[in-house]
Amino acid sequence: MVEAYFEVNGFLVHSAGNSAITLTKRKFDPFACIVVMNQRLNDNSLDSGVRLFSGDLQKIRTGIVGILGWTNSSFSPAVISNDTRQVKFLKQHLSKERVDDCFNRNFPIWEGDRSSFLKLLVIPSLPANNDKMKEALEFVRSLGVEGVLTLRSILENLFRQTSPNLVKDLSSVFQIIGLIKAYGLAKDPQMEIFKEAG
């Protein structure tokens, strides 16, 4: 889903390679990581702070994206509904070792060097409470992350860009969203189905 999100927003996407964390040292599975490049830009000009939205993508030339999702963590619907649990979840699942493992993989460099790639992280959710959100973002930033996207933002963007008129060669993500729209199960203004509780 994250790969489809960057692709539909004009990025080239490539796997960032395998984790260097050995099986015996793993407390959690390593992040899935991808490398993204927007060929329309000459350099990164991100200045909006660590919390990113889809509109901020137009300021990103290159980045390595770590994905902390529902499948490689203990995230659950109960965590979404509680700001304190969300901060606790991030502190449990984000360690310097795990983040560094993602951002220091042997990934393909299209141009320049690794320092030109923004360190981006996709997380399931952020707290709705401003103080808890600030605490969560400060913690993530302390680990060297330069930008954070939420799965909610990604889903909203994909949902808005997917047509109910299915094309067979689209990725399964777009086919599922297209089916949801085609059967009238959700419409663009109905995005409250993805609303983060706070």
Give the DSSP per-residue string, 81-126: T-HHHHHHHHHHH--HHHHHHHHTS----SSS-GGGSEEEEEES--
Q: How far is the C-alpha of 8 from the C-alpha of 194, rounded, in Å?
A: 20
Per-residue pLDDT for 197 more than 50? Answer: no
Residue matched to tokens 């609303």: 195
Question: Could you tell me the sign of the dihedral formed by the alpha carbons of 30, 145, 159, 196, in that order?
Answer: positive
Task: Provide the residue range defining the domain that includes 24.
Answer: 2-194
Backbone φ and ψ of 62, nearest 5°: -135, 145
Name all contacts of 48-51 with Cβ < 8 Å and 24+ positions apart.
49/137, 50/137, 50/140, 50/141, 50/145, 50/146, 50/147, 50/148, 51/126, 51/133, 51/137, 51/147, 51/148
Q: How far is the C-alpha of 62 from the C-alpha of 147, rounded, in Å?
A: 12
- Interior angle at CA 125, CA 122 and CA 126, nearest 5: 105
Residue 198 has a pLDDT of 43
Per-residue pLDDT for 159 more than 90? Answer: no
Residue 31 has a pLDDT of 83
pLDDT band of 180, cuts 50, 70, 90: confident
In single-letter form, the type of residue at position 144 comes to: G
User: Distances from the Cα of 78 to the Cαs of 122, 125, 178, in angstroms?
Assistant: 19, 12, 28
pLDDT tens, position by position, 91-105: 998 989 889 888 887
Residue 166 has a pLDDT of 58
In single-letter form, the type of residue at position 72 comes to: N
Q: How far is the C-alpha of 48 from the C-alpha of 59, rounded, in Å?
A: 9
Per-residue pLDDT for 131 more than 80? Answer: yes
The residue with greater pLDDT, 5 or 28, is 5
Q: Structurally, how many domains does the chain consist of?
A: 1
Q: How far is the C-alpha of 37 from the C-alpha of 60, rounded, in Å?
A: 8
